[in-house]
Amino acid sequence: MDTPSISVVVVAYRQREALAACLDACVAAGAAVPGEIELIVVDNGGLASFVRAQCPSAALLEPGDNIGFAGGVQLGIEAARGRWIALVNDDARLEPSALATLLAAGERDAQTGAVAAQVRFEAHPETINSAGIEVDVLGVANERFAGQPLELAGGDGGFVFGASACVALYRAEMLRQIGGFDRRFFAYLEDVDVAWRARAAGWQAWYEPRAVAYHSASASTGAASPQKYFLAGRNRVSLLARNATRRQLLRALPGIVLYDSAYVVYVAAADRTLAPLWGRLLGLRQWRRLRHEMASRRREVALAPALAGARAAWKMQRAYRRAAGSRGG
């Protein structure tokens, strides 16, 4: 059996209409890819019969429970046979040329471990959702150009910190080397963890603006839900524990404390929830174990300035709220 050029992994959870559009778009985009592709759907939410009827050509994996986005992605990766692994959110829709364009960009350089697509908001297709991801010295991770007009994120592409797993292409060899996605993240920031570990291992990521997709942002958990706040808070601490070097942590500690304190207070006032605090406290309980298990693989990598990260985080938050409001959410 030939090795597929790309294995497309979709983690399905709750949504039917968006999932149907996602799968149709994946099949259409796969037809433009040179060589064989395979489509793998991981059912995280009782959609197996729907997937079989909607896309009988897809390989269906049924873990039997909701194992989260990170767990579903890793399950799909372990089953995949392709040289490249494309991740597509179940609420994302690819343009027909997207997969072929991502593949061409990735194969230009053997050190490219990931390729980021240009993801636009489905509700506001003139606005960027993601143009890759960046991380600042405080460990604040952001979607590049989130909420900004298309012209700011166009051009010829370039190197970025990493790819947003909403729509991304990963070299299978790179994922095997760094250990893939960590299931414990469940959802949110798992792609940042992958990007950070990949950079520490010497891989690079490329942003390809001609590979376009559309995303109904935070359709599964809500743009400002307590669940999202809790998971993002816990995973932010885990991200720092796993990847930041001791020197980076010591230099950034005052800024980290200031940023996180301000964020918790802001969310408490704006959304009347302390979920970001509870998530961070749980992350701190796991800190020493995570530091120990990653000690031999941790390397210092270049990070963006702190002030730029805080501004980008604010813009991204507003962009997601606007997109959710446009869906009546």
Domains annotated on the chain, with CATH: 6-215 (3.90.550.60), 226-326 (no CATH)
* Inter-residue contact 72 to 44 (CB < 8 Å): yes
For range 253-276, the mean pLDDT: 96
SS3 content of the chain, % helix, strand, coil (to 5): 45, 20, 35
- Mean pLDDT, all residues of the chain: 93
For range 36-56, the mean pLDDT: 96
Q: At CA 309, angle to CA 167 and CA 89, rounded to 5?
A: 15
User: Quick one: pLDDT band at residue 327, thresholds 50, 70, 90?
Assistant: very low
pTM of the model as a whole: 0.93
Which residue is listed with tokens 């985009």? 29
- The better pLDDT of the pair 258, 306 is held by 258
pLDDT beyond 80 at 54: yes
| pLDDT, tens only, 78-94 | 999 999 999 999 999 99
Read off φ and ψ for residue 232, nearest 5 degrees.
-65, -35
User: Quick one: pLDDT band at residue 152, thresholds 50, 70, 90?
Assistant: confident
b/e per residue, 102-141, with b = 16+ CB within 10 A? Answer: bbbbbeeeeebbbbbbbbbbbbbeebbbbbbbbbbbbbbb
User: Quick one: pLDDT band at residue 328, thresholds 50, 70, 90?
Assistant: very low
Judging by DSSP bridges, how do beta strands 37-43 and 59-61 pair with one another?
parallel
